[in-house]
Homo-oligomer: A and B are copies of this chain.
Amino acid sequence: MDLSVNLPGLKLKNPVMPASGCFGFGREYSEFYDLGKLGAVIMKAATGEGRYGNTTPRVAETSSGMLNAIGLQNPGVEKIIANEVPFLAGYDVPIIANVAGSTLEEYVKVASAFNKTKDVHALELNISCPNVKEGGIQFGTEPEMAATVTKKVKEASNLPVYVKLSPNVGNIVAMAKAVEQAGADGLSMINTLTGMQIHLGSKRPLLANKTGGLSGQAIKPVAIRMIYEVKQHVSIPIIGMGGISSAEDVLEFLLAGASAVAVGTANFQNPFACPDIIAALPEVLHKYGFHSVEVAIGKGHEA
């Protein structure tokens, strides 16, 4: 069974990669399995300087999902390039850097910093992190802002850019078209839905940040819908994510129009989630009549 997929900048041996923020920089999960098994690795968000992030509690459990408000904690792009990229480069796996920021300048700074290393293969432009207060949210909900940041980052970077879309919008197709026109090489969708949990005991929002991003199986139908809609209006490839926890889920995303997928929250339930899904994928594809990943992409659309 041919699981390989070729995307701008990425020769994937299979379509499954861990989602940004759910896999750190790979060190922890490298203690569970060989990271070379993965289709790619998407690193945790990088910002211009190191950030501590939000105060705790930062996560809450919800029905079939979780809320998180980590707040982009990371050591800053320079330390990531110096300390984390070399570690991942030791594995036979493409590396995608997740680029975040609060200002246009910060996005450009982070993106161009990755030009220095030959070991990063693509950027995932995180214009949608719902937990950044200073302005990150606007980039992800206004088509023009999203287009602007995409353009600037494309100019600054010599890597393919996958723009990660927020689902917290009224018109996801407008966002997708805007960033495609601005030069995005691909899309990554979806990021988390903004949610909240109130703690009955304290009578206050449970997360110190009050709101957090909803992820996990609960959001899968929203992700599938958005990918399906966007697929009908753009021609750049989509990395799909949102609640994937099985090879069947992967196929559902492929049918909806994703060319590859990322697995986030499921890693927390099962640290072997990614290799387990990769191992199960050939049989699932076969069961539903596919002889490769490529042929399944977008097949949910044909009449």
A residues near B, CB below 8 A? Answer: 62-65, 67, 141, 168-171, 193-198, 200-201, 203-205, 210-212, 214, 216-222, 224-225, 228, 243, 248, 251-252, 255-256, 288, 299-300, 302
4 further A-B pairs in the complex, CB-CB below 8 A; given A62-B217, A63-B216, A203-B288: A62-B218, A195-B222, A197-B224, A200-B288
Bound complex: CA A170 to CA B172 (Å):
10
Q: Contacts A225-B194, A228-B196 known; A220 to B255 CB distance under 8 Å?
A: no
B65–A221 touching, CB < 8 Å: yes
B224–A64 touching, CB < 8 Å: no
B67–A64 touching, CB < 8 Å: no
Q: Contacts A196-B225, A252-B200 known; A220 to B64 CB distance under 8 Å?
A: no
The residue from B197, B210, B219 contacting A218, defined by CB atoms under 8 A apart:
B219
B255–A198 touching, CB < 8 Å: yes
The residue from B169, B214, B217 contacting A221, defined by CB atoms under 8 A apart:
B214
Q: Which residues of B contact A252 (CB under 8 A)?
A: 197-198, 200
A251–B200 touching, CB < 8 Å: yes
A243–B288 touching, CB < 8 Å: no
What 3 pairs between A and B have smallest CB-CB spacing?
A195-B221, A63-B217, A218-B218
Shortest A98–chain B CB gap in Å is: 22
Q: Contacts A198-B300, A255-B198 known; A225 to B211 CB distance under 8 Å?
A: yes
B288–A220 touching, CB < 8 Å: no
Bound complex: CA A203 to CA B254 (Å):
10
B169–A196 touching, CB < 8 Å: no
Q: Contacts A205-B300, A225-B211 known; A170 to B141 CB distance under 8 Å?
A: yes
Bound complex: CA A209 to CA B214 (Å):
26
Bound complex: CA A197 to CA B169 (Å):
20
Q: Contacts A170-B168, A252-B198 known; A222 to B214 CB distance under 8 Å?
A: yes
30 A-B pairs (CB sep. < 8 Å) = A62-B217, A63-B64, A63-B217, A63-B218, A63-B220, A64-B64, A64-B65, A64-B217, A141-B170, A141-B171, A193-B193, A195-B222, A196-B224, A196-B225, A196-B228, A197-B252, A198-B224, A198-B252, A198-B255, A198-B256, A200-B248, A200-B288, A203-B288, A203-B302, A205-B228, A211-B225, A212-B221, A214-B222, A217-B218, A218-B218
Shortest A205–chain B CB gap in Å is: 7
